[in-house]
């Protein structure tokens, strides 16, 4: 695994799927469709570390990287998902460079970070501990979410934080923080998104955005704008889209 980080380092596009429902079969089906990465949402769902562990088992051998969107910048939760085999973490609501630094350090072993060690699943329960420990800091992916107007104001300093591998725009939360909830096409929201994208290009940090609705043309448009780390839809959205398409006109 770790294909996503390699793609981003090479300037390529990495397309991911977003998992709201914590069933391993859903993740397995999505992985089989060719996503570079899947992210289990643990912020806005009831997904637990046990659910994440089961999904990690389902994705073993698929070649699809598994990430976790944490409920907060929480070192304890970061440690649990990484121990379970996560290829990296997506940290919500990173609004300052101090929070970005904390996000990076909680995903790295000492001396670069503060993550604790254990004979866990990620190291094959200790059988592969030396290699895992020595390679982890270079392989794990840390994505910070820029989803508040305060973060836009500090975006250059956030992106300058060593160890930040990508910055993902949360379009709905960003619009809400601007008192324009859900108005993703509002001029002020688009201006804020462009400011983030421009800052990412200047800093050499891959920019990401979530294309929530099922729309392949929108993905191509975002790639054309320069986004490289793109979350494509939601498992729930895919189900609703399939149902509506099947029942169209009935």
How many whole angstroms from its chain centre is CA 211? 13
Q: How distant, in Å, are the alpha carbons of 108, 150, 248 from that of 142?
A: 9, 20, 41
Q: How many domains does the chain have?
A: 1
CA atoms within 13 A on the CB side of 138: 6
Question: Residue 250: which pLDDT band, with cuts at 50, 70 and 90?
Answer: confident
Q: Strand (E) positions, the chain?
A: 14-19, 37-41, 65-69, 88-91, 141-146, 166-169, 207-211, 229-232
pLDDT in tens, 201-217: 999 999 999 999 999 99
Q: What is the mean pLDDT of residues 148-172?
A: 97
Q: Catalytic residue at 54?
A: no
| Distance separating alpha carbons of residues 12 and 6, to the nearest angstrom | 9
Reply yes or no on whether the pLDDT at 2 is more than 90.
Answer: no
Question: Residue 102: which pLDDT band, with cuts at 50, 70 and 90?
Answer: very high
Copy the structure tokens of residue 195. 């400011």
pLDDT in tens, 35-81: 999 999 999 999 999 999 999 999 999 999 999 999 999 999 999 99
**Bridge partners (DSSP) listed for residue 142:** 89
Question: Residue 249: which pLDDT band, with cuts at 50, 70 and 90?
Answer: confident
| Distance separating alpha carbons of residues 90 and 144, to the nearest angstrom | 6
SS3 category, 208:
strand
Here the CATH number for the domain that contains residue 46 is: 3.20.20.60
Cα angle: 149, vertex 208, 16; to 5 degrees: 135
| Distance separating alpha carbons of residues 133 and 60, to the nearest angstrom | 20
Return mean pLDDT, the chain.
96
From the list 23, 44, 186, 213, the catalytic residue is 44
Neighbours of 204 (CB within 10 A): 8
The pLDDT score that the predictor gives to residue 1 is 53
Residue ranges making up the domain that contains 114: 3-246
Question: Residue 30: which pLDDT band, with cuts at 50, 70 and 90?
Answer: very high
% pLDDT > 70, the chain:
99
């Amino acid at each position: 695994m770790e294909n996503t980080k390699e793609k981003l380092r090479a300037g390529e596009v990495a397309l991911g799927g977003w998992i709201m429902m914590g069933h391993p079969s859903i993740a397995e089906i999505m992985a089989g469709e060719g996503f570079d990465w899947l992210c289990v949402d643990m912020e806005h769902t009831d997904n637990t570390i046990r659910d994440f562990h089961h999904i990690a088992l389902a994705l073993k051998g698929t070649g699809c990287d598994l990430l976790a969107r944490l409920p907060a910048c929480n070192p304890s939760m970061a440690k649990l998902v990484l121990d379970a085999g996560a290829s990296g973490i997506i940290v919500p609501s990173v609004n300052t460079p101090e929070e970005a630094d904390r996000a990076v350090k909680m995903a790295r072993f000492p001396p670069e970070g503060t993550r604790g060690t254990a004979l866990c699943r990620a190291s094959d329960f200790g059988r592969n501990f030396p290699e895992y420990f020595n390679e982890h800091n270079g392989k794990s992916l840390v994505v910070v979410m820029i989803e508040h107007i305060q973060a836009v104001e500090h975006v250059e300093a956030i992106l300058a934080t060593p160890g930040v591998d990508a910055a993902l725009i949360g379009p709905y939360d960003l619009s809400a923080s601007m008192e324009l909830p859900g108005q993703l096409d509002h001029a002020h929201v688009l201006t804020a998104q462009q400011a983030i994208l421009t800052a990412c290009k200047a800093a050499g940090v891959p920019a990401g955005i979530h294309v929530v609705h099922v729309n392949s043309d929108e993905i191509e448009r975002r790639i054309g704008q320069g986004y490289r780390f793109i979350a494509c839809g939601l498992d729930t959205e895919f189900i609703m889209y399939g149902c509506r398409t099947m029942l169209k006109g009935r």
